[in-house]
Amino acid sequence: MGPFLTCIGAVDPGLRLVVSQLIRDGVIGSAVYQQSTASTNSDALAELQDHTKPSKPLPRLHLTDLQTAGRGRQGNLWHSRRDALTFTVTRGFDFERFETAPVSIAAGVAAARALDY
């Protein structure tokens, strides 16, 4: 599906095509799509901390069909259902220009509005 999409396990073919189109359209720079993972947030953080891996273009989407140990705000843990939209997006920030604290809330609101649209 292209050099910037990595699929792990038997992922949903339709969603794989959607992610590929997001990369082609320039909405995201790269993606990792897994059938199952403990936490997309933990996966993204581990990848950022592993300086031995070749870097992929940002923003980078970490997406899964099933998340078993998700991490939420204030240390909350949760599991996703198979029909849930479970992902983490990694992007670069200019920390001197932007306050990053509200980014996760803003992303959640934007996703909810897009799904409601």
pLDDT tens for each residue of 24-71 = 888 889 999 999 999 998 899 898 888 666 567 888 999 999 898 877
Residue 1's pLDDT band, with cuts at 50, 70 and 90, is very low
User: What is the per-residue DSSP string for the chain?
Assistant: --TTEEEESS--HHHHHHHHHHHHTTS-SEEEEEEEES-HHHHHHHHHH-TTSPP-PSSEEEEEEEESSEE-GGG-EE---TTS-EEEEE----TTT---TTHHHHHHHHHHHHHH-
Does this model's pTM top 0.75? My answer is no
